[in-house]
Structure 1
Amino acid sequence: MRLRDRMFLLLGGTGGIGKALVDSLVQEGSRVVVASRHPESIGHREGVVPVSLDLAANDLDQQLERLTEAYPDIDGVIHCAGQNRFAGLAMMSAAELGAQLDVNLRSAMLVARHFAPRFEKAGSSAMVFVGSTFGSIGFPGYTAYCATKFGLRGFTEALRRELADTSVQVIYIAPRATDTDMNPEAVDALNRALGNRVDTPEAVAAAIIKAMKRDQRRCFLGWPEKLFVVINGILPRVVDKAMLKQLPVIRRFLYAKTES
């Protein structure tokens, strides 16, 4: 995929990975339209255009119409937005469940529905979706997040096959644990206790750029996480047993706040 002299719409550009992606894309010679509910927080710099967009809004499709009218040169989309909460399912409100579904999955589907026919007519374009290792491996404390990321992975796979005879590229990239502000201290402590490796946002952004340049249809980041993805798909009981051994440690951090 060519990155120079292209205009990408970046969704989730104010998060840790998103901010690093903005820097990487600009360095590659791309122009970036960064969409956020709070565009004033993005600031102004050469090659970057902040715009207002609410991925959880009921009128997202209308907002996308207005956006493409204002920026008709957009020829690539990177969906890097996401919400999560480390909590037991019973501890989550219906509103919190709905917010994760809206931002993590529904918005990706509406964005793809909006841009796919436009990109197909344009003749050369790409849609990149940033998922998660938790889109392939269910993890305690992330039931809702896993559900949305499993859905995103399935959606992009089906969409890629639906557009296989067109020029539209559909890419799915799944990072492992990443050091961003989205993670509360309990999650950081849990990762340390379990010995999980954690990537920097810059490392993840570099891997995403690399996957885009190589036109990788799907890319799973991190070792041994990518191995666990394969094992979980073939022999899920093996992962069940491993998770069972970890469950007391996970619960210690999962319920620490409610028990204190």
Structure 2
Amino acid sequence: MKLHDRVFLLLGGTGGIGKALVEPLILAGAKVIVASRHPETLAHISGASAVHLDLAGPDLEGQLERLTEAYPEIDGVIHCAGQNRFASLDKLSVSAIDAQITVNLRSAMLVGRHFAPRFQRAGYGALVFVGSTFGSIGFPGYTAYCATKFGLRGFSEALRRELADTPVQIIYVAPRATATAMNPEAVNELNRALGNSMDPPERVAGEILKAMENNDRRRFLGWPEKLFVIINGILPRIVDKAMLKQLPVIRRFLNSGVSS
């Protein structure tokens, strides 16, 4: 996929991975439309526009209609918006579960439903979904998050196969742990205690661009995380045993109260 002269709608572009994507996309010659619930708070960047979009809104379909009427030139969407909550299932409120389902999965499905037929009619277009290693490996303390990311991975795979005979590109990128403000300190401490590597958002953004430029269908980031994804798919008992050994450490941070 050539990025030059493309017009990308960036969802989740106000922080973390999304924010790190804006400048590289512009430098590659693309125009970026950053969607946010509060576009007035975004700093002005040459080559980027800010628009209002509430992915958690019940009227998301109508918002997308109005957005594409205002910006009919959009020919790519990068969905990297997300919410998570590090907590045991019994400590998760219903509202926290609903929020993760709505932003992480429902919004991606509605975005795909809205743009895929438009891109088909145009004869080109790309939908890029940013998932997670936790979309392939269930991890204690992230039951709801894993459920939504497993769903996102399945959705993008099914949609890619549904559109396999069309010019629409569907790309799924799964980062490992990433150092963003979305992580509470308990999660950072847990990753340090377990020896898990955390990538800076800029590195993840670079990998997303590589996946787009190389027309990858899917890209999993990080080693040994990529290996664990394969093992978990073939011999999940091995990962079960490894996580059982880690469970006392995980529970120590999970129940610390820092992220409650």
TM range (shorter): over 0.9
Measured against aligned partners, the alpha-carbon deviations of 1:131-151 in whole angstroms (never above 9, x if no partner) come to: 000000000000000000000
Aligned position for 2:212: 212
Partner of 1:6: 6
Q: Under a length normalisation based on structure 2, what TM-score does the superposition of the two structures give? A: 0.99
How far 1:22 sits from its partner (Å)? 0.6
After the TM superposition, which segments of 4 or more aligned residues of structure 1 sit over 3 Å from their partners? Answer: none
1:82 equivalent in structure 2: 82
Aligned to 2:35: 35
Q: Residues 119-175 of structure 1, C-alpha deviation per residue, up to 9 Å, x if partnerless? A: 001111100000000000000000000000000000000000000000000000000
Distance between the aligned counterparts of 2:239 and 2:114, measured in 1?
38
Please give the alpha-carbon distance, in whole angstroms, between the structure 2 residues aligned to 1:27 and 1:197: 28
* Separation of aligned partners in 1, 2:15 and 2:254: 23
Q: Following TM superposition, by how much is the alpha carbon of 1:42 offset from its aligned partner in structure 2, in angstroms? A: 1.6
Q: Which residue of 2 aligns with 1:101?
A: 101
For the residue of structure 2 that corresponds to 1:55, the secondary structure is coil
Could you say what secondary structure the match of 1:256 adopts?
Answer: coil
Deviations 1:57-87 (A, max 9, x none): 1100000000000000000000000000100
1:1-260 aligned within 5 A: 1-257=1-257
Unaligned runs of 5+ in 1: none
Q: CA–CA distance in 2 between the matches of 1:44 and 1:241? A: 50
Q: Which amino acid aligns with 1:243?
A: M
Q: For the residues of structure 2 that align with 1:38 and 1:144, how far apart are their CA atoms? A: 26
The superposition leaves residues 224-247 of structure 1 with CA deviations (integer Å, 9 ceiling, x where unpaired) of: 000000000000000000000000
Tell me how large the CA RMSD over aligned residues is: 1.2
**Letter in structure 1 aligned against 2:50:** P
Residues 15-55 of structure 1: per-residue CA shift (max 9 Å, x gap): 21001001110111100000011112222121100001000
Equivalent residue letter for 1:102? T
Question: 1:43 is paired with a residue of what secondary structure?
Answer: coil
2: CA distance, partners of 1:199 / 1:256: 24
1:34 is paired with a residue whose SS is strand
The 2-side partners of 1:243 and 1:30 are apart by 42
Instruction: Quote the Cα distance in structure 1 between the aligned partners of 2:146 and 2:236.
Output: 15
1: CA distance, partners of 2:139 / 2:176? 12
| Paired letter, 2:71 | Y
CA positional deviation for 1:204: 0.2
Per the normalisation by structure 1, the TM-score is 0.99
Cα separation, 1, equivalents of 2:44 and 2:66: 21
5+ long unaligned stretches in structure 2: none
Secondary structure in structure 2 of the residue aligned to 1:196? coil
**Letter matched to residue 181 of structure 1:** A
Tell me the distance in 1 between the aligned counterparts of 2:103 and 2:3: 26
- Structure 2 residue matching 1:104: 3-state secondary structure: helix
Q: Distance in 2 between matches of 1:25 and 1:55?
A: 22
